[in-house]
Chain A
Amino acid sequence: MNTKNQLYNYILEIADDSLILGQRLSEWCGHGPILEEDIALTNIALDFIGQANNLYEYAATLSENKITPDQLAFLRVDNDFKNALLVEQPNRDFAYTLARQFYFDAFRKLFFEKLIDSKDEQLSAIAEKSLKETKYHLKHSSEWIIRLGDGTEESHNRIQTAIDFLWKYTNELFEDNQAYTEILDLELGISVSALKSTWLEYVHSILTEATLTIPNSPFSQTGGRKGIHTEHLGYLLAEMQYMQRAYPNSTW
């Protein structure tokens, strides 16, 4: 693969994380536990979908085929998506949603902070833009982890269950992909494995404050970056892509 190709795939991976998590969060629209949270979760969903759009737009300019951001989002099949398994996990309940969000926001903040230094101008600009929003997201999810963990017995147990269950999907976020060695060498992208210790430190501090037990299971589930997904992604795509599949090229 040449550098341009590598960069194209590298950007798609970041974009797919944003799009899939944005789509998951938007499922809360009209179902939030309280009105303010309904609005908060959909606001955050919009930020993620906006980030995905910026990234797909940029990726489209690097593609050798004539391709549009909409085609990237709506006309690829599950194996083409390179998002981490964590972001495709279903909402289940509010605790699972917030645990997933907390793990991911904590990663994303560190990720964008580093990606700003990318030698690729447009990628750096997208990171700078997205970081400002991500800080608000992380504050929101961190506060909820503490509020639920240090809340009632019921909320404590449910957030602990979610934190434990989703733990196995977190390691994948920090696996450097061998396919992008050139991107890293040229300092266009960043090494995610280098972010792990800072991430762990932050996650530990919040979980401790939330009176929660820090998961320590060494088992980790990976595959998303290679296009091998959990069954949940297929259902998500079926709903998200329905309109373009049923009525190709329809506009409104």
Chain B
Amino acid sequence: MVTTKNIWESLEKVSDPEIPVLSIVDLGIVRNVEIDKELCTVTITPTYSGCPAMHTIEQEILTTLSPIIKTEVKSTLSPAWTTDWMSENGKKKLREYGIAPPENEVDKSVLFAKPTIVPCPKCNSQDTKMISQFGSTACKAHYQCNHCLEPFDYFKCLR
């Protein structure tokens, strides 16, 4: 008998194709798992409207779960994804991978405001600077550490 707990554990093995260190559960994009008799329904939500990874993630879920149970994947837009849904474990994994995890601050309200202080994931210095609000993927900004000079990605806060 497959339980939703088994399904959640299996989904822990499905990683985000653009940030392979994170599972889709860490990222908070799995919104619901339901089992109705022989059918499992997994509901996911995109991080950004244009996230190109959604189709791959859907395929990965089907590949992972189909040996266990008949599965369908649904996509929902509301409530809209926020970085608050990222797990603590996910943030820790990001930092170890070299990507600064989201700080609890949305850097978009004030023009030319001092950018959010993001500690360097390599040397932990607070002395870093934002290079660009838009980084290698829609969910990241581009930063550089003034202390160790390492350029790094910041997973920007979205609320």
Asked whether any CB of chain A lies closer than 8 Å to the CB of B136, the reply is yes
Report if A132-B159 is in contact (Cβ < 8 Å); known contacts: A39-B134, A51-B49. yes
13 CB-based A-B contacts, threshold 8 Å: A39-B132, A40-B134, A43-B137, A46-B48, A47-B48, A53-B50, A125-B76, A129-B49, A129-B80, A132-B80, A135-B109, A136-B108, A143-B112
Given contacts A43-B138, A133-B49, A139-B133, contact A125 B78 (CB under 8 A): yes
B158 within 8 A of A: yes
Q: Is A49 an interface residue (CB 8 A)?
A: yes
Known: A47-B50, A50-B50, A130-B49. A140 touches B133 (CB 8 A): yes
**With A and B bound together, what is the CA distance between A3 and B76 in angstroms?**
24
> CB within 8 Å of B: which residues of A?
36-37, 39-40, 43-44, 46-51, 53-54, 121-122, 124-126, 128-130, 132-133, 135-136, 139-140, 142-143, 146, 206, 209
Contacts of B52 in A (CB 8 A): 46
B67 is an interface residue with CB less than 8 A from chain A = no
Chain A residue with the shortest CB-CB distance to B50:
A50
CA A122 to CA B131, docked complex, whole Å? 36
Kindly state whether residue B149 has any CB partner on chain A within 8 Å: no
Q: Does B111 lie within 8 Å of A36, measured CB to CB?
A: no
Question: Which residue of the partner chain B has the closest CB to A18?
Answer: B49
Least distance between A153 CB and chain B CB atoms (Å):
21
Chain B interface mostly helix, strand, loop or mixed?
loop
- With beta carbons under 8 angstroms apart, the residue of B77, B79, B111 that contacts A54 is B77
- Which A residue sits closest to B107, measured CB to CB? A139
Report yes or no: A46 in contact with B142, Cβ–Cβ below 8 A. no
Interface residue from A36, A50, A128, A206 paired with B79 (Cβ < 8 Å): A128
A49 to nearest B CB, angstroms? Answer: 5
Size range of the chain B interface in the assembly: 20 to 34
Task: Please tell me if B98 contacts chain A, counting CB pairs below 8 Å.
Answer: no
A139 contact from B48, B76, B108, B142, Cβ within 8 A:
B108
- Shortest CB–CB separation between residue A151 and chain B, in angstroms? 13
Which residues on the A side are within 8 Å of B132 (C-beta)?
A: 36-37, 39-40
Whether B134 contacts A132 by the Cβ 8 Å rule is no
* Residues of chain B lying within 8 A (CB to CB) of residue A51: 49-50
> What chain A residues lie within 8 Å of B49 (beta carbons)?
47, 50-51, 53-54, 129-130, 133
Known contacts A51-B49, A129-B78; is-contact A44 B134 (Cβ 8 Å): yes
Give the distance in Å from the alpha carbon of A199 to the alpha carbon of B79 in the complex: 27
**Contact call A40/B80, Cβ cutoff below 8 A:** no
Contact status of A132 and B133, CB under 8 A, knowing A46-B52, A54-B49 = no
Report B131-155 CB contacts with A as 1/0, cut-off 8 Å.
1111111100010000000000000
Q: A51-B50, A54-B49, A132-B158 are in contact. Are A142 and B79 (CB under 8 A)?
A: no
Is B68 engaged at the interface, CB distance under 8 Å to the other chain?
no
CB neighbours (8 Å) of A143 from chain B are 111-112
Report Cα–Cα, A124/B80, bound state, in Å. 11
B92-113: CB near A (< 8 Å → 1, else 0) gives 0000000000000000110110
